[in-house]
Amino acid sequence: MTAKPILVIGSTGKTGGRVIARLTELGHAVRGVSRNTEIPFVWEKRETWPEALRGAGAVYVTYSPDLAAPGAPADIEAFVAAAAEAGVERLVLLSGRGEHNAIRCEEIVRDSGLPYTLLRASWFAQNFSEGAMLGQVLEGVVAMPAGEVAEPFIDLEDLADVAVAALTDDRHEGRLYELTGPRLLTFHEAAARIAEAAGRPVAYVPVTLDEFHAELSRQAGPEYAELLTELCREVFDGRNASLGDGVREALGREPRDFASFCRDVSAAWTLPS
């Protein structure tokens, strides 16, 4: 165990909460921060960073809204400098697979001089059960501009296990882990597995980028719609239609299959009575 607390940025996010739970169970001192925690951390307010970093030994870095955002490299560069000044001893960066800006951010962390691990993750399986797409699944229609491109969905239980290993074990220093599930699935195939686990029809409907942008603008506003649409334009061109060995390399076991994920979270897809 480390005497210094492990800082987890994005403590209320999909991965941050899982990482905190595992670290706490292992007996590590943990400082989880987000926009509304007692010690706040806000990416747009750099004046919140020093207090969050004070005394931290290792940091799990998740960037909001996404490393694909135009301002992400500048923020990551400034954060790395602040972390070094605060005496941080290890950075673990959650990165996105196939994203140009994410790769730039990885390079910034790699060149920082601090010990690091890079977690380059594919599309989260839990996007279907915990995020905005849960509503689509409950409505029975998953509409995405992914066409017939296949994606190796990563289960966040696996990602969290790798993150905790990287935060607590020197053997992962300097490594880049490509984190994917064990098989490629199109969104059509993913929807079919969700439907099977949910016990009711769930269909994938491919939409154009313009249609996706218009609907997302209505739901979440134009700024977020623009970011996510451009991210989809970038990553749904087939560049991520391959499997990575990161889970096996980091943990010595196979990643969880999407069908197992569906069975485990099927209660989230139960319609209210």
Superfamily of domain 6-122+154-180+242-255: NAD(P)-binding Rossmann-like Domain (3.40.50.720)
- pLDDT surpassing 70 at residue 28: yes
* Residue-wise pLDDT tens digits, 134-161: 999 999 999 999 999 999 999 999 999 9
Q: How high does pLDDT run on average in the chain?
A: 96
CB 16 within 8 A of CB 60: yes
List the one residue out of 133, 163, 143 whose CA is nearest residue 58.
163
* Residue-wise pLDDT tens digits, 87-129: 999 999 999 999 999 999 999 999 999 999 999 999 999 999 9
CB 141 within 8 A of CB 205: yes
The average pLDDT across 72-96 equals 98
Q: Are strands 175-179 and 116-121 parallel, antiparallel or unpaired?
A: parallel
pLDDT reported for residue 220: 84
- pLDDT surpassing 90 at residue 253: yes
pLDDT reported for residue 1: 43
Residue 121 to residue 94: CA distance in whole angstroms: 7
Indicate the domain borders of the chain.
6-122+154-180+242-255
